[in-house]
Amino acid sequence: MTDIKFLWNRFWILVRNALIFFFVSSTLAVIAFKWVPVYRTPLMYIRYYEQWVDGKEPVIKHKWVDLDQISQNMPLAVMGGEDTGFLKHNGFEPKEIYKARLEALEGGRERGASTISQQTAKNVFLWPSHSWIRKGLEAYFTVLIENIWGKERIMEVYLNSIEMGDGIYGAQACAQEKFNKDARDLTRKESATIAATLPNPLERDSAHPSKFVLKHSKRIQREMNAVANPGWGAK
């Protein structure tokens, strides 16, 4: 009986120490990335491996640029297409989550309702999956970056880490690969077209948009008019 009690106590000590280590290390990582550029993410390595398994030449096309080197059209476009309430919410949109869940229960297409903050937390610190564990960790990291980074830094990291094509990550690499220009020179239409591909960047091509992408791009351009311009990005 004494041995069982001893082992049980040891187990909870290990759990406690593991939790302390996780909370301290994750907080320090978030603090560091408030200033340190994010050059690689878990998704980049996952896609790299998937390319190799599929017999393709593995490639990661990514170049970090500061937010003032990205066209102001890009933040407006991704807010218009992905998260119109980005500047107002605290990282979560309960109404959108409820609507998405209700649509799925009614037999509609299951869609994500993640905010830009949630997507950024997932891209930088986690992996793509639909498990409750991953969603819980995503919520945890979302709270951290909202409180430590702030909106401007979240947008900067998002626009540098989001998947925008097969092996293409971030606005600079996308602009160079798809439009043969730098991210600071992206037009309103080009930015909206890129944003229109984000729900499925491996199937949608911003350089050769389908009718569906073009239609979605026009809707995003209308949404851009309603989104408050925070003045981030290249003039």
pLDDT score recorded for residue 108: 47
Question: Are 6 and 54 within one domain?
Answer: no
pLDDT tens per residue, range 49-104: 999 999 889 999 999 999 999 999 999 999 999 999 999 999 998 776 656 555 44
pLDDT tens per residue, range 109-135: 444 569 999 999 999 999 887 788 899
pLDDT score recorded for residue 111: 41
pLDDT at 1 over 70: no
**Alpha helices per DSSP H over 33-60:** 42-53
Question: Are 15 and 111 within one domain?
Answer: no
Tell me if 235 is assigned to some domain. Answer: no
Question: Are 120 and 55 within one domain?
Answer: yes
Question: Are 165 and 216 within one domain?
Answer: yes
pLDDT at 192 over 60: yes
- What's the pTM? 0.90
Question: What's the rounded Cα separation, in Å, for the pair 214 and 196?
Answer: 8
pLDDT score recorded for residue 2: 64
DSSP string, 109-120: -------HHHHH
Q: Which residue has the higher pLDDT, 111 or 201?
A: 201
Question: Are 108 and 197 within one domain?
Answer: yes
pLDDT mean across residues, the chain: 89
Tell me the two tokens of residue 103: 């649509």
Q: Which residue has the higher pLDDT, 94 or 24?
A: 24
Which CATH number covers residue 70?
1.10.3810.10
Q: Between 2-32 and 132-148, two packed helices, what is the crossing angle to 10 degrees? A: 50
Number of domains the chain is built from: 2
Task: For tokens 């009614």, name the residue.
Answer: 106
Question: Are 148 and 55 within one domain?
Answer: yes
pLDDT at 32 over 90: yes
Question: Predicted confidence band at 6 (pLDDT cuts at 50, 70, 90)?
Answer: low
Tell me the two tokens of residue 208: 């050769």
pLDDT tens per residue, range 139-169: 999 999 999 999 999 999 999 999 999 999 9
For residue 21, the enclosing domain spans 1-32
pLDDT score recorded for residue 74: 97
